[in-house]
Amino acid sequence: MGDVGAQWDARFSAEGFACGTEPNDWLVEAAARFLPAAPLDVLSLGEGEGRNGAFLASRGHRATALDASKVGLEKAVSLAAGHGLSLDPWHVDLSTVQLPASAYGAVVSISCHLPPPVRARAHGQAVAALRPGGVLLLEAYTPAQLRFQT
Ligand SMILES: C[S@@+](CC[C@H](N)C(=O)[O-])C[C@H]1O[C@@H](n2cnc3c(N)ncnc32)[C@H](O)[C@@H]1O
């Protein structure tokens, strides 16, 4: 899966969960406001270790967890299973993936930081992957975040 997958595999190989097991606060708020009723087919880009996918599954959605990190996806599936939930893992790199068109009721991207050319490609595909009326929930940093060293 290349350098990105290897880097995140190393990070996620540590004990525990790098971003915790609770869902992202903004996603919880945005899902309540903007997501149509479950069940939706939801694609989560850069899902990592599963906290957001597990939350979406807990709301009755059919969640696909896309990530370049195999280690992260294994933890994601296991986190969801621990709550009696299922996630469909998709081990792929966003720099090369071809997302299916008009396939999802929602696409979620939380802190999936990508280099500009990959980002433009991935976000274009994310929009095209939505069914009519589908919702894109995207939380990302601007370059101003760099000064906080997070
Ligand atoms: C900061 S973590 C956020 C994880 C998760 N969204 C969360 O909020 O807990 C960024 C995630 O994006 C994934 N990622 C980064 N670049 C990627 C790429 N090119 N293709 C697929 N996944 C990628 C990483 O493997 C990692 O899991």
Ligand 1, CB within 6 Å, residue ranges: 4, 8, 19, 24, 46-48, 51-52, 67-69, 72, 93-95, 110-112, 114, 118
Q: How high is the mean pLDDT of the chain?
A: 97
Task: Report pLDDT digits (tens) over 124-134.
Answer: 999 999 999 99
Q: Assign domain 2-15+23-141 one CATH number from 3.40.50.300, 3.30.1340.30, 3.40.50.720, 3.40.50.150.
A: 3.40.50.150
| Angle, in degrees to the nearest 10, between helices 2-12 and 70-82 | 50
Please state the domain extents for the chain: 2-15+23-141
DSSP structure string for 72-112: HHHHHHHHHHHTT---EEEE--TTT--PPTT-EEEEEEES-
> What is the residue with the minimal CA distance to atom 12 of ligand 1?
46
Q: In the structure encoding, which two tokens stand for residue 86, read together? A: 């299922």
- In degrees rounded to 5, what are phi and psi of residue 88? -100, 110
Q: Which segments of the chain are extended strands (E)?
A: 41-45, 62-67, 88-91, 104-110, 130-139
- Distance in Å, CA 112 to ligand 1 centroid: 5
Task: Report pLDDT digits (tens) over 35-68.
Answer: 999 999 999 999 999 999 999 999 999 999 999 9
